[in-house]
Each structure stands twice: as C-alpha cells, then as structure tokens.
Amino acid sequence: MNYSLVENILGRLMISFSGFMVIPFLVALIWQEGSVLAFVLSIIITLVMGLILLAYGKKDGRMGVREGFVIVAGAWLLTSLTGALPYALSGAVPTYLDGLFESVSGLTTTGASVIDNVEILPKSILLWRSLTHWLGGMGIIVLFIVFLPNMTGAVHLFNAEVTGPTSERVLPRIRDNALKLWQIYFGLTVAQIFLLIIVGMNWFDAINHSFATMATGGFSTKNTSIAYYDNLWIELIIIVFMIIAGVNFSLYYQAWRSGLNKIFKDIEFQFYLLIIVVSTVLIALSLWWTMEIDGGNSLRQALFQVVSIITTTGFMSADFDQWPSATKIILLCLMFIGGCAGSTAGGMKVSRIVLLFKLGWVELRRAIHPKAVINVRFAKKTVDPVIFNTVAVFFFLFLSIFALASFLLAAIGMEPLDAMSAAVTTLGNVGPGFGVIGPTTTFSSINAFGESVLILCMLLGRLELFTLLVLVQPEFWRSRKGW
C-alpha cells in the first residue's frame, strides 16, 4: 500500500474542500450572520488537516486498485467529518453527531435531516446543506479528478466512486470524462435555476433547490419542502429535472454527439420511464378511488412523489404517509430500485434490477434445457457472467445490510415498518420514509445509536457497498501482488 501517495491526494482534496466552505462563509459575511465564526473555524480546521496530510505525503509511486479504494473511502469519511463542523460550531444542531448526520446526508445526497425547523437557519447554513448535495451528487472524487490533471491511476478513483454495475466511459481519458460529466451537470443546474426564478421562486431558494434537484438530494429551505410553494409550474420544472438527474449522464454526451435517439433507445432509460409511468398511474388511481381526490390532483401528487422517490431526491409535495397502504408499498419498492446507473440517483439502480430479472429468466430456461448455452444480452451487448455475479452479490449484500439495519433500529424501539423504511431510505439515499421519519417529520427522534447506524447506511449506499466493505477484508491490507 502506497500510504504516502494516499496522504498526498487526500491532503490536496481536503485543501480543495476547505475552498468550497468559503462560499457559504461569504454569504454569512454579506448577511452579517452569526455563523461567520463557525465557517472561519471550519475552513481553518479543514485546511490545516489538508496541509498536514500533504506534508506527510508524496506524489511519487504507483496508484493501484487498493490505493483507489482507500482514497475514495478516506475522501468521503474526511469530507463528512469536516463538513459537519459548520453545523456543530454554529449551533444549528445540538451535538456533533447530529452535525455528522446532516453532513453525511448532504454529501451522499440522501436528504434525511435531524433539523426540525430549517426556516430559522442562517442562509449560509442552508446554502452549505445544498452545496454538499451538489458536490456529492456527481461525486467528490470525480470533481477532484477535473482539478488535478495528469493524475496517474485516476481510473481506479473513478471506478470506485461512479455508480452502477459497470463504470461506463464516453471518452478515453478519465479526466476528460470527469470534466464532461461536470460540464453537463453544471449546465443543467444553471438552466434549472433560471427556470425556477422565471416561474416565481426567489433566487436564493432557486439555487438551493436546483442544487438539491440535480444531485437528487432533497434538502429544502422550507419545512414543508416543495409543498410550501403550491405552484404547479415549480413542481413540473422540478419533476423534469429530477427525471433528468436520474438518467445516466453519459447518455447526454452521446446524445449531443449522435442525437436524442441515443437516450430513447437506451434499454435502462426505457425501463426507467416505464416504471415511472406504471407507478404513477397505479398511485393516481388509488388516490382517486380511495381518497376521492379529483383526477388532476391525483395525477399531480402521484407523479411528483413517484419521480421524487425513484430518483431518490426525496422532495415532498404531499404527505404520502397518509396515503393508502398499497401506494406505500409501491413507493417502498421504488426506494429499493432507484434511478439509472451513472446518474446522481441512489438505490440499487434500474440496470441491476433488469439484469436480475434476465438472470432469473435464464435460470428458468436452463432448468428446462440444462445443456443449452444461453447468452444474455443487455443494451445490444452480451453480458459477461462476471457482471451477473457482481449484480447478484450486490443484491444479496444490499438486502443483508437492509435486514441488519432494520433489526438494529427495531431493537432501539422503532416500529417494524418505520425501522425498515428508515433502513432502505438511507441505504438507498432517498431521504423520507414512513411513520416517525415520514415526509412531514425528521430523524431527530432517533437516538445516537440509531443515527450512527443510519450514517453508515448512507455511506455504504452512496459508495455502492463494495468500496467500503472491501476495506474490512484482512487480505486487502496484505501484499499488493495482483493489485
């Protein structure tokens, strides 16, 4: 293990991260808020930490797979720990653990919060919450690669952070890929900001909600989220951009080069839209039939919540915890599924679900024809059996961690459904759940042990399990042969 190189890269990353804290610091300074000192101290602590790591580290040496895993895991851990400082030092939360929960929730784009009244928070803290969403959405490491040209072994960092069963690239050089992804991400964010301002949202709220939308995060400047505005045009704009954010971003570059057909012909995108349409229709019918909500409002509420949940954004335009049980089951399933691979969305990803169904179908056919050689195709390509194995293991680990987290939360006194929804909504980086952590409540009622479990779930979910779990293997820290 090249610890010196790991320290060097983590040091440079922490120095960069302290630079982003300057943005909310300037907001606090302009509005003369009491959080000025909190940001000054946070910047100094983060900067000093980065300088210490940089002093001990060296750029020399080769970066292998192991170094890539350690750097990505270390980057998310360190940014989470220092990202909690503004909350704790400003008094926005009562304890550092609460600040860590808020920080991890922001960076992993989960959007779960322990703050009961966000409307009394300083603008600088609100902006920091949304900014952590935006930085974590496309990926801290992916952004870091953009600012550090000619980094040897950057492919290992890229592969360890990018979501999905495979790390798809649209350009040969990793830095070019990272730059193109961030250019698309930035352009879409700016477009949404302007559109929200045009339909009546003030500029500060537009920036915050656009950061949260494109990152599929869900932090809002209002206690009642998007329901506060009760504005159809605001909801439609956010719905469109949530759907956009839940799509593989590499498709947008391909569409720019080869036309929009690249997006609409993508098999994962087709299933993604199909799930949205079917879920929306079923929930709208349920709301119309059982709650006697008129057709237009049923469709409006159903569409917004379905898109918000499947993209793991977590915005709320209606209290879906009061909806019929059948609709809650649909939403719970969407929490597991999530968005497309290569998007900013969480969950297991649509591509993995499709591959699992194909794998199940193949095994059924193989039971009838044991000697048959059956190749599975996905996106017009034959799927490597190794990918099937990886998807199956991911599915098993996801459900195992979900079950364990649900048990631990139930053990501290949570109702079974509440515990399960809390586990899946954090592991899938969704945000709101049901019951005590429903769309109109927060996670503030959960004790310190429960918060710690959910923090771990959020990190595991954002890094898609393997990046963190591989670190607990003793073999990982032994001889680097074969790595």
177 in a known ligand binding site: no
At 261, is the secondary structure helix, strand, or coil?
Answer: helix
Give the sign of the dihedral formed by CA 121, CA 213, CA 112, CA 40.
Answer: negative
Distances from the Cα of 291 to the Cαs of 279, 352, 457, in angstroms?
Answer: 17, 34, 34
Tokens (6 digits) for 305: 């919540």
Tokens (6 digits) for 32: 């003369």
At 358, is the secondary structure helix, strand, or coil?
Answer: helix
Instruction: Name the maximum alpha-carbon separation found in the chain.
Output: 74
Q: Exposure of 261 by Cβ count < 10 A (0-12 exposed, 13-18 middle, 19+ buried)?
A: exposed
312 in a known ligand binding site: yes
| Nearest alpha-carbon partner for 35 in 79, 99, 110 | 99
382 in a known ligand binding site: no
Q: What is the dihedral of CA 276, 281, 284, 286, to 10 degrees?
A: -120
Give the sign of the dihedral formed by CA 405, CA 84, CA 112, CA 304.
Answer: negative
Beta strands in 327-469 (DSSP E): 377-378, 381-382
**Angle ∠(198,273,343) on CA atoms, nearest 5:** 70
For the chain, give the number of residues. 483
| Nearest alpha-carbon partner for 319 in 288, 287, 347, 346 | 287
109 in a known ligand binding site: yes
362 in a known ligand binding site: no
Binding residues for K(+): 109-110, 217, 312-313, 429-430
Binding residues: 109-110, 217, 312-313, 429-430
